[in-house]
Chains A and B, each alone.
Chain A
Amino acid sequence: MTRSTHWRHEPSGPFQVFQHELNRFLEEYLQPRRRGGAEPPPTDLDPSEWNPAVDVYETPDEMLVVAEIPGVDPASIDLAVTGNVLSLRGVKASGDLPEPQLQVRERRFGTFYRQLMLPHEVDFEKAQAEAIQGVLRIRLPKRIAAKPRTIPIRPT
């Protein structure tokens, strides 16, 4: 009875290799410029022409989600929390100028729906969001960490 438990972790069988490759591919596809962090990257549930780019920062007191939303009416953004998933929905509407007059078109428009998984230590009740000049900042304070306690053992 030697090494009988190791096979589970070895990607030796063809299915395991395939599974491993698939995971790696998905990981690379979903995390092109990942910089550490334990949470999975934001998902894009509405792959339209345009989606806001998201950066996430961490300070000792809070998590800060920053999204670039130029041309998005802040009032039209739907920001919701389910469990520890933050979802961001809205639309970047194109301008009101008539199309035939367009000479250069580089800007992109469309609806967006992105989801971000955040660490459980975040207190969603105290979340605050503000949109200033096309930049959305969502501040998520961390919960006060439970203080270490000693449990006395009562003598019998």
Chain B
Amino acid sequence: MNLENPTIQVKVGSEQRQPDLSKAVEQDFPELQGAYTPPIDIHEGADGLTLEADLPGATERNLHIHLEDNVLNLYAKIDSPAPEGARLVYEEYRLGDYHRSFILSDEVDRERINAELKNGVLRLFLPKADRARTRRIEIKERDQ
């Protein structure tokens, strides 16, 4: 099942079950083995988790988000900002891909996952599934 949203694609589960997702990710992207761990913030609200990650250079095309069972995987393959043959004169950061994996404790409502990418920051909203969310039960008064 693929969930489409206006900015990036979130892949939830897969038709063919993968025994180990991280291994599957590394098979698809062998160069991710030496990938960087991007810094993240996680905010927990009553409705779910909001995750923010600094991913400069990540685009809608190169950023992949996988959620299988309760394992969330983020990965992005970053293109060099310099033209081919350019000589690196001064370096403070090394160009690299990103990879990060999380285990979610609460069940996520997969239908309502929302992701947006703005100025190199990913904001991913993972709503709690109804089962995990505290629900208010409305009591209806019956007309007499």
Which of A39, A55, A102 contacts B41, CB < 8 Å? A102
* Chain A residue at minimum C-beta to C-beta distance from B40: A106
Taking CB atoms and an 8 Å cut-off, the chain A residues in 57-111 that contact chain B are 57-59, 63-64, 66, 68-74, 95, 97-98, 101-108
Q: How far is the CA of A73 from the CA of B52 in the complex (A)?
A: 16
Chain A interface helix/strand/loop/mixed: loop
Q: Which 4 A-B pairs have the closest CB atoms?
A: A134-B120, A134-B56, A70-B120, A106-B39
A-binding residues in B (CB < 8 A): 39-45, 49-50, 52-59, 81-83, 85-93, 95, 117, 119-121, 123
New A-B contacts (15) at CB < 8 Å, excluding given A69-B119, A107-B41: A34-B91, A42-B92, A53-B93, A58-B86, A64-B83, A64-B86, A69-B56, A95-B43, A107-B53, A133-B56, A133-B119, A133-B120, A134-B58, A134-B121, A135-B57
A-B contact pairs, 26 of them (CB 8 A): A33-B92, A35-B89, A35-B91, A53-B92, A54-B90, A55-B95, A58-B86, A59-B85, A59-B86, A64-B82, A66-B81, A66-B82, A69-B56, A70-B56, A70-B119, A73-B119, A74-B119, A101-B44, A104-B40, A104-B42, A106-B41, A133-B56, A133-B58, A133-B119, A134-B55, A135-B56
